[in-house]
Chain A
């Protein structure tokens, strides 16, 4: 007997949408045994990881604060992924967006006005777009794989941010700490819930998800993106320019990542510091796939992944789990999602071993 992998002719839709739930369940089960093996009370650890953050209004507001960048970036990435454009460098685009928007805030420091914040948003978007334009140009002009270029540029961006906050943008009154001045009030996103950190960006994130859904479902641009992803030859047949779609996807995902970065520095952080994101740009890749590359699904998966950040912190405080547990959970989730997706597209069949190469003789 041997195992044989067969492609399914028709992909069952209900299976496609139920695998994220299956993946979450498997992650919880795996987490249970990991905690057990580490010598923690698994039920208590899981409670603090998944349940206790949801028991207070503050917990929910923090969830929204963490989910906002994930949703904003995830929606942009999902559009690209639908067209087989693999922007893995959202973290870098987020960083450059934060730098661009932050520089605007610092330039207006002390004389902020009503236009400061909108200008910062535009600068953030433009920064992310410009940074994503590099892989777009290399891909469309020279056929360079955007996975490599976008990923590698991430590290450049992070180092560039460090250079700035250790150097020219360092707060002159900051006791030599590597951070910029605190942004002025008019350069900060307004809070929408008193006593929490929930800012205007969380609502904008939801609006972006809805807009992304409208674009992908009802417009010719979304149609072009979907056709290119599903059947590149058909896209060319229809006269859709593949390189224009690649440009569009990278600029869109880069611009949104830049906006998310700006929202971080103009929201919860309020200044430029060397580390502005706990890997939102990478986690958003998981968010996009977990949400089935569907903008509305991404709202749900963004909330779930935000929970993994907050749950990780809570479990750290309450149970004394190491910080790495957040990354472990995110990794497990992606692993189980990809594994169960494989089973959606293929099925395993036991097969009798191939008969010995021997032609059956029938007759004389």
Chain B
């Protein structure tokens, strides 16, 4: 902790709490940003960073607590009010119209009508003054991601903000673009603009920020000077050192390799997605294998590649009990014993408008014979759905209720239960206990442990490190589409995992640069 500054803070957050159903996203958060300070908000996914900035920017209203602006208490009712105060925000995902020019996009973001020529002049002035080269007449679709971000920044700067919030700004940028962005931010800070910089990338924060507030589980766990800390010590604060005391189940006796992934590379389908790069790991019968990592580092892509929703380049990139299944689709892999639970429940793991019985048919018809000569066996499907409801304590009026009518946690229990009760030989599950209460989480963890004990190979992809440390035998960390080598969970150090999650992994620097260059090449190809 460093001593509070004497000047009046630009923004002071006092005792902010925000509760969502089932989760306390912010728990009496206090922190302050001084004028001209670059202040980092650091934390894992789910630590409450997004909720906090949404409250500051007026998108959400806090349940408790107050905000002060230049020493005066304020209520920020909506983003308009935030902008009027002088708060600007650059979101992680941009809201730009691709078919319009830079200038038109800027004009759309302004609150009042404005003379287009004058606006174009101002855009040029601002972009020159802050090293954000931008041609107002260019069409947005011809611009790279870094250039698009500049539009958003310029749009904020035109309103002369006193506080600029940047939400994970570098997640889509090349290293060169990151360097340029940092120069701009330092320039702004030099003029007295406060910057609230949200990130989980430790090295960046050390490089850029004057102070860091670290959130964990919705609470402020520390405020520190990142330049005085090591990446290691901040990772420890971010993840929590007390994790080491978590008791783990006794490691099962691992049998033969059931799932083997070798040299799996796959370009992402999504614009902001992460390509998988040469991923290899193996999971044995009776083993629970964890994949840790901050969201958006290729977990979704990996899930799709494992489940068979996206096919690998060649059959042997994935082997199931020795058989190459890289070119088999999800239904065929399921027949061979590989079941999966995707991260997104509604619309991916389940069809919201269909009944639970129909949703049971969705993924279980192969293994449980719920279809005979084209006709769905409605009775058998309803019985199977009822069995899931009973075994996993799904709170629902009945199996005819639509999946969309269930709460997130209950639907989660249903989907996980549906895959477990199919008796797979390999189960890949993403965020198994997302949104469920502690009791149900224990049920699901127990079911996964029991599966492993029966000789099933279980892969758990989760952003919840506590969970992975508690239930896995071995784990690896995924970062920008690269999977680290696996480590035995019992022997893994939290610091090492934290560093890997923060992007400080064992890759040689030139490999990082090569990966980034490939990213940039792909991006320009996309633009072209």
Contact = CB atoms under 8 A, between A and B. Distances in A.
B80 A238 contact: no
A163 interface: no
A229 B361 CA distance: 16
Given A227-B354, A359-B77, A364 B348 contact: no
B349 A237 contact: yes
Interface string B335-370: 000001010101111111110001001110110000
B375 interface: yes
Interface string B36-55: 00000000000000000000
Interface string B143-171: 00000000000000000000000000000
User: Interface residues of A toward B: which range?
Assistant: 20 to 34
Contacts of B375: 218-220
B76 interface: yes
Contacts of B353: 230
B391 interface: no
B380 to A, nearest CB: 13
A361 B84 contact: no
A231 B73 contact: no
Most buried by B among A233, A238, A240: A238
A358 B85 CA distance: 7
Nearest to A221: B374
A220 B362 contact: no
Contacts of A12: none
A223 B377 CA distance: 12
A15 B235 CA distance: 54
Nearest to A234: B351
B234 to A, nearest CB: 34
A360 B376 contact: no
Interface in A204-242: 218-221, 223, 226-227, 230-231, 233-234, 236-241
Contacts of A236: 309, 330
Interface residues of B, number: 47
A185 B69 CA distance: 91
Given A233-B348, A354-B80, A218 B74 contact: no
A356 B331 CA distance: 55
Interface in B54-90: 69, 72-78, 80-85
A233 B344 contact: yes
A218 B376 contact: yes
A16 to B, nearest CB: 12
A355 interface: yes
Interface in A97-138: none
B72 A227 contact: no
A357 interface: yes
B81 A230 contact: no
Interface string A343-364: 0000000000011111111111
A356 B111 CA distance: 10
Nearest to A364: B72
A238 B340 CA distance: 10
A97 to B, nearest CB: 25
B347 A233 contact: yes
B84 A234 contact: no
A231 B352 contact: yes
Interface in B79-138: 80-85, 111
B176 interface: no
A219 to B, nearest CB: 5
Contact of A234 (B74, B85, B350): B350
B311 to A, nearest CB: 11
B81 A359 contact: yes
Most buried by A among B85, B330, B378: B330
B416 to A, nearest CB: 14
B307 interface: yes
A238 B362 contact: yes
Interface string B357-401: 010011101100001001110100000000000000000000000
Interface in A234-270: 234, 236-241
B329 interface: yes
Contact of B349 (A234, A358, A360): A234
Given A227-B351, A239-B330, A363 B77 contact: no
Contacts of A364: 72-73
A241 B329 contact: yes
A356 B84 CA distance: 9
A358 B79 CA distance: 10
Nearest to B341: A237
Contact of A357 (B83, B309, B346, B371): B83
A231 B348 contact: yes
Nearest to B85: A359
B81 A358 contact: yes
A354 B79 CA distance: 11
Nearest to B69: A359
Interface string B294-314: 000000000000011100000
A211 B361 CA distance: 22
B361 A223 contact: yes
Nearest to A240: B331
B334 interface: yes
Nearest to B353: A230
B524 interface: no
Given A230-B352, A356-B80, 12 more contacts: A218-B375, A220-B365, A220-B374, A223-B361, A226-B354, A227-B351, A230-B353, A231-B350, A234-B349, A239-B334, A355-B81, A358-B84
Interface of A: 218-221, 223, 226-227, 230-231, 233-234, 236-241, 354-364
6 contacts: A223-B358, A237-B362, A357-B111, A359-B85, A360-B77, A361-B74
Interface of B: 69, 72-78, 80-85, 111, 307-309, 329-334, 340, 342, 344, 346-354, 358, 361-363, 365-366, 371, 374-376, 378
**What 7 A-B pairs are tightest by C-beta distance, nearest first?**
A239-B331, A357-B84, A239-B330, A357-B80, A233-B348, A363-B73, A231-B347
